[in-house]
Chains A and B, each alone.
Chain A
Amino acid sequence: MSPSVKEELVKRSPLRILEKSISGGLGRGNIAVLASRKGVGKTACLVHIAVDKLLQGKSVIHVSYSSRVDHIINWYEDIFKEIAKAPRMASALEMYDELIRNRVIMNFKQEGARTEQVLRSLEAMIVHGQFAAETIIVDGLDFGQAGPEELRKFKDFAARLGLEVWFSASLRGEEPLFDARGIPLLLESHVGVIDVLISLLHHGDHVHFTLVKDHDRLAPHNLRLKLDPTTLLIAKDAAKAA
């Protein structure tokens, strides 16, 4: 459980590559969106990002729409196990118990949950619950229903409370899903509010990451990352790196 093990895990994480590519990280008050079709692995990515924050000693609120709490808890356990596997830590379990004390899961049923209500509850958790979150994960928000003005509310909230917020966006329907600039058609009207936009695409047996928007820069390029099909972890893409 030594701090050095955590430091090591953080240092070696492929998420450092992602950070480097997005000018050092998302940053407080900013919003990132991971977009892909259903079942590609967005939730796994978000949980990987969350566990990485937890390892850095930061607090995370995981907001989900309609997914079951025990499923989310399992996701964290599985992803953590995969991450911790590498250095073979004997005390992994104890470390995990300590880490998840800094994670709260908030579940909202989509139909009933208006953005104002979600933000009110988030604020209650941070202020009244004295939960000093720095990162908010929002999994399963329906961007088809929640327009740019809804996302703007999240962004204002993030700026006011100094949070960084990671969303997933499910893309549906017929091809093409993206416009010429690589922006998902579903998110075309949102893109002004989004600071970092990443799309996930199946490519052979791997999932590849494309950085569509990096803060003020709109120039799609491939991140040297992939999603490992067995562990569902974000991993370095050796082929591209070579």
Chain B
Amino acid sequence: MMSTELAKMRNIGISAHIDSGKTTLTERILFYCKKIHKIHEVKGKDGVGATMDSMDLERERGITIASATTNVLWGDHSINIIDTPGHVDFTIEVERSLRVLDSAVLVLCSVGGVQSQTITVDRQLRRYNVPFIAFINKLDRTGANLFKVRDQIAEKLGHNAVLLQIPIGLEEDFRGIVDLVSMKALYFDGPDGEIVRAEAIPAELEAEARAARESLVDAASMFSDELMEAALEGRATEAMIHAAVRRGAIARRLVPVLAGSAFRNKGIQPLLDAVVRYLPDPSEVENRAVDLNGDGVERVLVFDPSAKTVALAFKLEEGSYGQLTYIRIYQGSLRRGDELVNTRSGQKVKVGRLVRMHADTMEDIPGAVCGDIVALFGIDCASGDTFCSPGLNLAMTAIYVPDPVISLAITPVDNATADRVAKALNRFSKEDPTFRTYVDPESNQTIIQGMGELHLDIYIERMKREYRAEVETGMPQVAYREAIGQRVAFDYTHKKQTGGAGQFARVIGHFEPLAKGGYEFANEVRGGRIPREFISSCDKGFRAALRKGLLIGFPVTGVRAVLTDGQFHPVDSSDIAFQAAAQGAFRQAYAKSRPQILEPLMKVSIEGPSEFAGNVFATISQRRGVIVSSVEDGMFARVDAEVPLSEMFGYSSVLRSLTQGKAEFTMEFLKYGRVPGQIGELLIEQYAEKQRASAPK
């Protein structure tokens, strides 16, 4: 594969709303690229499941969780595909893939159109400046409407969406597509649609096709003077159109729209053609890394196989073959036996086995060059680590990792399981930075944390299946925060005389709310009233105190601590004494600061038939939610709301039973908001009770 010309390499992601048929589409791509020899359905009757869903669990649930990467050949082009998960709970996976990929295929359902998750994914594509093609799937479904979805991409997502194809027949009658560049009708013959047959455009579609082609050429002309002139003189060639569309697509100023039905094996080969025609090769994408030697300066990486190596480990996986590390090479190349440095830990590693992945199988390769995505064996690292040739000290920009919003206590069913649980947790938290685990020092229980109920559910099931580790789970616990309500002064003296050296420290100052959250420390002590060496002790003491609020024991955020004055004793003052004084000052002042409890608020989007809108409104108001908007488009409705996470447990089953399974919802963390008084009091009471129960008798 070393011989693959860089210009013939593509790294693409496939992103979509749940149930848009993304996994089915990926399956077909693998089939037509001859990576697999038989097509399996996602919820396969043959009990095998789509090839990309490598985990049993994913097979069972019919959803894709972990992004497996795979390499295919289309003609003489090498395409790395990352199958990204659709559920919002796992968007960290999507974000990581987007960092690693050069372009994407956005799959939309021709009935559902632009849905809530599509909007999330589009935002992510925008954030990472990823060019993409839109593929409108499921044209065989009742209610399919290519033009409506094209309009939605333009209106709701604000893209210059341009049709490259129009359908021949629709719904039950969907037979093929008209390629507007070559002006040919394409049909997909053979048992699996593997034979593409080009014919003349059916007479009844000729006028429509001509008009659509004209709009295509008009739109493409914006990116090519040559095409514009040629079009005026009626001599526009296919090559000119392709070149112009490509320019627009790479600049993200034109979105080529293709269509088909993956399930019916229609339109996939033209989509692959479009991927290699219109999406960028790795050298056309600029990548930057932070220079760890010089004050965080960003450096543009050179796309040159002979340069020093820079690579990013973006995913870890423990497969049946041992620990696999997926890496993307941004600069230089990689060969077996090369020595690299992990710039986070400073550790040196030697490249052993190097493989190219295909879902569950792999091929050994001697080396790879910049632009490529491969996997390494036996490398100890965390996802997000950067590997460089010795002498370079760069870090690929860190991928934004949100804090977990929910936690769950787990208890192994017996001692033998405990080891396996520990092993599983260690691996999961390495693979997924939004999944965290720790032992609560008070209850001595193992706590797991993540981005939502489903997120944690999946890991508990994986523990059971992959590690035979069964655990009992507690009630899901929301990650509350505490905050001070107003500025409050403190003046606290810590004094202890217990024989021997005493302890003495006095701190004076105030705490004030910090709107942006977090913690800030300001030292305004003048004239050496507190010696320099003890200032940082105060800072440390405040930090320690803020880790656990006094209302319900959750971290206190949004505090600025200002130290203005104090007192010390030449013999009895110490680091410990000032830390203790700072903690005492916080305890003294906190109650007077009108402290508040904050809770995570989720942005919830519910979509379904409009007849259920009333039921949905009711579920939101019952859950202390605020409805932001409701949009009705004929039979279809979408409700956007803000709801506290603590009220959302079990919502999926409630929604399912209320709407006969016809509505679905997605949610993601929005912000922290104040817990209303009564509920806050209840939480405080519960916490006090727990404290009393665990207090030594």
Contacts and interface: CB of A to CB of B under 8 A. Distances in A.
Instruction: Decide whether A and B assemble into one complex.
Output: yes
Contacts of A131: 617, 621, 627
Interface stretch (A106-114, A156-164, A188-196): A106-114
Contacts of A72: 629
Contacts of B610: 117, 121
Interface in A104-143: 104-109, 111-113, 117, 120-121, 124-125, 127-131
Given A129-B617, A129-B620, A117 B630 contact: no
Contacts of B629: 69, 72-73, 104-107
Given A121-B613, A128-B615, A128-B621, A104 B631 contact: no
16 contacts: A69-B631, A72-B629, A104-B630, A105-B630, A106-B632, A107-B629, A111-B634, A112-B632, A120-B614, A125-B617, A125-B627, A125-B630, A128-B615, A128-B617, A130-B618, A130-B621
A139 to B, nearest CB: 14
Contact of B614 (A68, A107, A112, A124): A124
A205 B283 CA distance: 54
A109 B614 contact: no
Nearest to A129: B617
Nearest to B640: A69
Contacts of B614: 120-121, 124, 127-129
Given A68-B156, A128-B617, A129-B617, A106 B633 contact: no
B613 A124 contact: yes
B155 interface: yes
Contact of A107 (B617, B627, B632): B632
Contact of A101 (B615, B626, B635): B626
Contacts of A130: 618, 621
A128 B627 CA distance: 12
B628 interface: yes
A105 B618 contact: no
A214 to B, nearest CB: 33
Interface in B596-640: 610, 613-615, 617-618, 620-621, 626-635, 640
Given A125-B627, A131-B621, A112 B633 contact: yes
B157 to A, nearest CB: 11
A129 B613 CA distance: 10
B610 to A, nearest CB: 7
Contact of A109 (B613, B633, B640): B633
A214 B634 CA distance: 36
B630 A109 contact: no
Q: Of A112, A125, A131, which is in contact with the most chain B CB atoms at under 10 Å from its CB?
A: A125
Contact of B632 (A101, A104, A108): A108
A80 to B, nearest CB: 16
A113 B613 CA distance: 14
Given A121-B610, A121-B613, A128 B618 contact: yes
Nearest to B671: A97
A113 B617 contact: no
Contacts of B628: 104-105
A125 B631 CA distance: 12
Contacts of A109: 632-634
Given A104-B630, A113-B632, 5 more contacts: A104-B629, A127-B614, A129-B618, A129-B621, A131-B627
Interface in A61-105: 68-69, 72-73, 101, 104-105
A241 B640 CA distance: 44
Contact of B627 (A73, A104, A120): A104
Contacts of A69: 629, 631, 640
Nearest to A62: B629
Q: Of A68, A69, A101, which is in contact with the most chain B CB atoms at under 10 Å from its CB?
A: A69
B398 to A, nearest CB: 29
A232 B537 CA distance: 55
A68 B155 CA distance: 8
Contacts of B156: 68
Nearest to A97: B673
Nearest to A121: B613
Nearest to B614: A124
A111 B613 CA distance: 19
Q: Of B156, B614, B629, which is in contact with the most chain A CB atoms at under 10 Å from its CB?
A: B629
A96 B25 CA distance: 45
A224 B178 CA distance: 61
Contacts of B631: 69, 106-108
A178 B227 CA distance: 50
A106 B613 CA distance: 11
Interface in B261-311: none
Contacts of A107: 629-632
Q: Of A72, A106, A130, A131, which is in contact with the most chain B CB atoms at under 10 Å from its CB?
A: A106
A68 B152 CA distance: 11
A5 to B, nearest CB: 18
Contacts of B615: 128
Contacts of A129: 614, 617-618, 620-621, 627
Given A68-B155, A105-B628, A124 B617 contact: yes
A108 B630 CA distance: 9
A100 to B, nearest CB: 8
A8 B631 CA distance: 35
A73 B635 CA distance: 24
B613 to A, nearest CB: 6
A104 B640 CA distance: 10
Nearest to A120: B614
B141 to A, nearest CB: 19
Contacts of B613: 121, 124
A146 to B, nearest CB: 16
A128 B617 CA distance: 6
Contacts of B620: 129
Nearest to B615: A128
Contacts of B635: 112
B672 to A, nearest CB: 12
B155 A121 contact: no
Contact of A117 (B617, B621, B632, B640): B632
